[in-house]
Amino acid sequence: MQFTLFTFIYIFAVACAFYLLPGIFRKYILLLASIAYILKYNVRSCIWMVLTSVTVYLIGIALEKLIQSNRKSIAKGLLIFVSALCIALFAAFKYSEVIPVGADVTDFFIIPIGFSYYVFQAISYLVDIYSDKIKSEKNIANFMLYMCFFPKFLSGPIERPKKFLDKIKALKTLKILDYDRISSAFLYMLYGFLLKVAVADRLGMYTGAVLQSPENFGSLTLFAGMLAYTMQIYCDFFGYTTVARGVGRLFGLELSRNFDAPYLAANISDFWRRWHMSLSFWLRDYVYIPLGGNRKGFGVKCLNLMAVFILCGLWHGCGIHYILWGTLHGVFSIIYAIYKRKERKPKFPRIAEIHLTFLCVSFAWLFFGINNLKTSFTYISRMLTFTKGPGRFMQQIFSLGITGVDTVLFPLICLVIFMDILSLRSEKPSVDALLSINYIFRYALIYFMLIALLVFGIYGPGYNSADFMYMNY
């Protein structure tokens, strides 16, 4: 789902049809709306989505019949073959740019939009059938909607089959006049849109120049740039998934929570329980645990951790910088696992643990955001050796083109931190937590969000609010 005027008009039109027509038509309305939206966005991506969905749907039925007829070895072989085929296609799409083939072949293997997300849904669906956690879905409309529901199509979250398919089947009984659900849906969209266009995109106007040209800046500016990029990627991706959850809630399809105050995590393991949760839990359940998890000794656990994080880096792209980013998180996780094993370990205040985890995560983001290793190491060496840049700190900051209007970033970032603290303390998603506080303070914050969005969002010629960082993965 993109953030364009067309998208919001489209959502309104789909909502009108969804609520005005009889409940029995709701899933078909959403399926047609999803296919039409993907078709408008990219015809080739729509063709791949339909082919993948129909194939996996048929294989799921065949897999269940093989298990029921006590031919589990054949079922296992089929599962392994199809899963390997999915991974092979994913790898071919993801890494076609670095394979020396003809231009026509490379164009064919450009990754279809959304493939990184729904191919993982396909694998989890087939694995869950084989593990007897679910039965194969017999209604192809239900299954295709699970694969291509348009709010989550471009950047997730990666949904689990049983939970999502059950919600699809309950659509016909959905209560239309549900004020709490509809009002919270619009608040999700408001907050997500604010995160994207008023925070992430405003930060993005400047972080690129710092990350790609570190030789022009001193260590203090580079440290600030690292923190700014850390906040930018969070608000960009969190903003998308927050809007997607709002749209999903509007249609009665609650999407999985993808972020849970990750920058308030007290250790790296806690961070990965809170960041991109649908991907990290998928890797845990379908890679880490099948490899043996922590059941085969500490050494194997460390190898499994490293394998999972390298795979996580490869999921994002073929560049060596993604592998280094994943490897760094693997190293952090192994160090933390070693620390946990100590019987007598030093105790640190929680605030210190949060700051240390945040700095480790921020440092790793440099390899994620800079696609040239030489530039990455230049950035890190200049930042850590207290190198002076041309002019004073404020002169370097203003050389980026920052104006007085950008000072709004400070209260907006404070708002994001406040919402995350509220979420952490209430153990609810930030928007749901906001709905439970004092109504005067709540409406004051909502009013502030609306004004900040309208006044300080980045709009206008030369700017495309539809662009999301995680659309590329």
Higher per-residue pLDDT: 103 or 400: 400
Distance set, CA 276 to CA 1, 117, 271, 433, 467 (Å): 17, 12, 9, 20, 19
What pLDDT is attached to residue 2?
Answer: 64
Counting residues of the chain whose pLDDT is more than 90, the rounded percentage is: 75
Alpha-carbon distance 397 to 395, whole Å? 5
Counting residues of the chain whose pLDDT is more than 70, the rounded percentage is: 93
What pLDDT is attached to residue 329?
Answer: 97
Distance set, CA 240 to CA 126, 157, 252 (Å): 28, 10, 18
Q: Is the pLDDT of residue 464 over 60?
A: no
Q: Is the pLDDT of residue 190 over 90?
A: yes
DSSP symbol at 252: T
Token code pair at residue 214: 């570190």
Q: Is the pLDDT of residue 105 over 60?
A: no
Helix (H, G, I), strand (E, B) or coil at 103: helix
Helix (H, G, I), strand (E, B) or coil at 293: coil
What pLDDT is attached to residue 176?
Answer: 83
Write down the number of H helices and E strands in the chain.
23, 0
What pLDDT is attached to residue 96?
Answer: 65
Query: How would residue 410 be classed by pLDDT, with cut points 50, 70 and 90?
Result: very high
Over residues 107-128, the mean pLDDT reads: 88
Query: How would residue 465 be classed by pLDDT, with cut points 50, 70 and 90?
Result: low
Residue 58's CB: how many other CB atoms inside 10 A? 13
Q: Is the pLDDT of residue 115 over 70?
A: yes
Cα–Cα nearest to 194, from 454, 422, 470: 454
Report the half-sphere exposure of 124 (CA within 13 A, side-chain side). 24
Over residues 120-130, the mean pLDDT reads: 97
Radius of gyration of the chain from Cα atoms?
23
Q: Which of 167-181, 241-255, 269-283 has the lowest mean pLDDT?
A: 167-181
Mean pLDDT of the residues in the chain: 90
Angle, helix 320-341 to helix 373-384, in steps of 10 degrees: 50
Mark out the alpha helices in 139-267 (DSSP H runs). Answer: 140-148, 150-153, 161-169, 179-194, 201-212, 219-250
Residue 419, C-beta contacts closer than 8 angstroms, at least 6 positions apart: 191, 430, 431, 433, 434
How confident is the model over 335-356, as pLDDT tens digits? 999 999 887 777 889 999 999 9
What pLDDT is attached to residue 388?
Answer: 86
- Asked whether 294 and 301 are in contact (CB, 8 A), the reply is yes
Residue 90, C-beta contacts closer than 8 angstroms, at least 6 positions apart: 115, 116, 119
What pLDDT is attached to residue 466?
Answer: 47
Alpha-carbon distance 262 to 231, whole Å? 11
Cα 1 to the chain's mean position, in Å? 13
Q: b/e per residue, 365-392, with b = 16+ CB within 10 A? A: bbbbbbeeeebbebbbebbeeebebeee
How confident is the model over 365-380, as pLDDT tens digits? 999 999 999 999 999 9
- Asked whether 383 and 219 are in contact (CB, 8 A), the reply is yes
DSSP symbol at 217: S
How confident is the model over 283-330, as pLDDT tens digits? 999 999 999 988 889 999 999 999 999 999 999 887 899 999 999 999
Q: H or E segment at 391?
A: none
Token code pair at residue 91: 């790898």
Over residues 24-50, the mean pLDDT reads: 94
How confident is the model over 81-100, as pLDDT tens digits? 999 999 999 888 877 655 55
What pLDDT is attached to residue 129?
Answer: 97
Over residues 420-427, the mean pLDDT reads: 95
Total residues belonging to the chain: 473
